[in-house]
């Protein structure tokens, strides 16, 4: 676990990209927190995996149905996730307290069906914030066009936000500016925290096949490099926004910066290092969410070196070369955003279907 401490030494907070009742009940999550994990994230895909792979939720489902046999599957989902998030937040509370609110957060996402509806997103976020009732909760809001004003409003209301599904540098800037506007409207800015979840490996998964289709040595040399270069450019914008005049007035009010969070850090191409996207983006004032398998690999053989602010020119050249090859990164990141929302909607719907099935099976068995 020393490698997690080394990440912290470089200013990066490692968060676990997974939550399940089994992990919470077994004490496994507490052990990870005690050895360096500083936060956790969840989403409909993660929760589907947790519910489908175990019977750990069955008793809670049965209890809810016995109290009200008409309880719907979406309501079951709401209560099961809220319980998990409360449990995780309580485990992380010492981290939150000792860091004075800089760390120790757990994220819970609004329904992905609301990704293109500003007002319903705001209402859903308020509901989750009230029901979970933990200061170290972050509400995940997809950073779609409709999500930007929702992020600003929620920050202004004092609700911690994890702006998620970020793929493009331009959209990252929109999110950062929404945070700045929101925090300027908040009377007690120090009590609000936010991260901007910038997805990494999915970019290479989309770009690499296009490079292989071109097939020239120049194109093939860019494989596995564009996602990291893209993230580095987002980090450069972070430095410009939050360490320049744009945020200076809020700094004087003791507002926190909105930290970039590197998401989708699991390696999808087996030809690449299984810790490529963790090792390549280590730097100050950032968060990295790590799936369990990638965490195991990083603890086993990863290196924690300050890589994020290195090789800026190489990243710029890679992106410039990509453009000369006729590959439109803006078009790709827009497609990834749409696909990301669709994937979470699919996971959410599958989960509702699974809960309906469990609802039927458990009530019949009882």
Catalytic residue selected from 140, 206, 225, 358 = 140
Q: Give dist(CA 225, CA 258) in Å, integer.
A: 25
206 is catalytic: no
For 53, counting Cβ atoms within 10 Å of its Cβ (0-12 exposed, 13-18 middle, 19+ buried), the class is: exposed
Hey, which residues are catalytic here? 140
């Amino acid at each position: 676990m020393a490698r997690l401490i080394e990440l912290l030494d470089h200013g990066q907070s490692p968060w676990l990209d997974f939550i399940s009742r089994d992990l919470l009940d077994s004490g496994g999550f507490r052990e990870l927190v005690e050895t360096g994990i500083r936060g956790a994230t969840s989403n409909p895909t993660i929760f589907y995996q947790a519910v489908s792979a175990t019977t750990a939720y069955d008793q809670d489902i049965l209890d809810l149905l016995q109290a009200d046999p008409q309880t719907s599957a979406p309501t079951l989902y709401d209560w099961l996730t809220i319980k998990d998030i409360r449990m995780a937040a309580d485990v992380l509370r010492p981290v939150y307290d000792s860091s004075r609110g800089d760390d120790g957060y757990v994220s819970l996402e609004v329904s992905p069906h609301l990704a293109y509806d500003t007002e319903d997103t705001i209402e859903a976020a308020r509901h989750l914030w009230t029901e979970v009732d933990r200061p170290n909760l972050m509400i995940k809001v997809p950073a779609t066009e409709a999500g930007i004003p929702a992020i600003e409003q929620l920050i202004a209301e004092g609700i911690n936000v994890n702006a998620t599904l970020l793929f493009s540098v331009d959209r990252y800037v929109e999110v950062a500016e929404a945070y700045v506007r929101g925090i300027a409207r908040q009377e007690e800015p120090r009590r609000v925290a936010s991260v901007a979840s910038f997805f990494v490996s999915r970019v290479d998964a989309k770009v690499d096949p296009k490079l292989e289709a071109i097939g020239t040595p120049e194109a093939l040399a860019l494989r596995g490099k564009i996602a990291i270069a893209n993230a580095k450019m987002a980090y450069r914008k972070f430095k410009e926004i939050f360490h320049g005049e744009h945020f200076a007035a809020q700094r004087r009010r003791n507002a926190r910066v909105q930290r970039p969070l590197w998401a989708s850090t699991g390696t999808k191409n087996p030809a690449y290092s299984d810790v490529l996207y963790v090792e390549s983006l280590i730097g100050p004032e950032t968060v990295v969410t790590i799936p369990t398998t990638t965490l195991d690999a990083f603890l086993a053989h990863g290196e924690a070196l300050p890589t994020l602010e290195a090789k800026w020119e190489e990243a710029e050249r890679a992106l410039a070369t990509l453009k000369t090859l006729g590959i439109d990164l803006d078009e790709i990141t827009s497609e990834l955003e749409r696909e990301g929302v669709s994937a979470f909607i699919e996971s959410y719907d599958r989960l509702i279907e699974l809960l309906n099935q469990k609802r039927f099976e458990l009530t019949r068995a009882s």
